[in-house]
Structure 1
Amino acid sequence: MFVRIVKMGFHENNIEAFLNNFNDNKLKIRNFKGCLFLELYRDKINTTTFFTYSYWETEADLERYRQSKLFKDVWAKTKPLFNIKPEAWSVEKLESLE
């Protein structure tokens, strides 16, 4: 398993459109084969900055999602809303304390 973190910044007037698109697709993304977990965060200071955290069984599962019609449709609606270039990291979870 690994974690995918994506940082996105939006123009203020595009946030509602982003959130609507996310809400319309979040269950489809979460239920995509290999996706184990999905969360959306918003920066408390810079409220135009958002992060998604998703857990994937394998890198191949994430790559299948990235090549899917679902991803292409979601990304096509999200990309024009950005005010900064998005950043993404694939990280390995080493430890988790609850």
Structure 2
Amino acid sequence: MIIRVVRMTFREDAIDDFLQIFDKSKEKIRAFEGCNHLQLLSDAHAPNVYSTYSIWNNEDGLNAYRDSDLFGQVWPETKRLFAASPVAHSYHQKIKLD
């Protein structure tokens, strides 16, 4: 399993545009083969900072999404709204917390 967190800082005037992009694409991303979870988080102290938190079966599934037409549509639309470069991290879950 791969947990992917992408932190994105948006221009103040672009937040509504980003939320519309996320809203129209979230179900398509969630339905992408290998995606088990997708969530949007907002920073508790910076209203123009959002992070996506997604869980993938494996790195191959994440990479297949990143190479897909869907990503090719969503990412360029999102990228033009940034105020700073995004920061992405991938994690493996080591301890199950059931």
TM-score band, normalised by shorter chain: over 0.9
2:34 is matched with 34
Cα RMSD (Å):
1.0
Report the Cα distance in structure 1 between the residues aligned to 2:26 and 2:2, rounded to whole angstroms.
Answer: 19
- Count the aligned residue pairs: 98
Give the 3-state SS of the residue equivalent to 1:63 in structure 2. helix
1:64 is matched with 64
Report the Cα distance in structure 2 between the residues aligned to 1:95 and 1:47, rounded to whole angstroms.
Answer: 32
Q: TM-score, normalised by structure 1?
A: 0.96
1:92 is matched with 92
The runs of 5 or more residues in structure 2 that have no matched partner are none
Q: TM-score, normalised by structure 2?
A: 0.96
* Aligned-pair CA distance for 1:2: 1.3
Percent identity (aligned): 42
The CA deviation string for residues 30-75 of structure 1, in whole angstroms up to 9 with x for no partner, is 1100000010000111111101010000101000000000001001
Q: Tell whether 2:13 aligns with 1:13.
A: yes
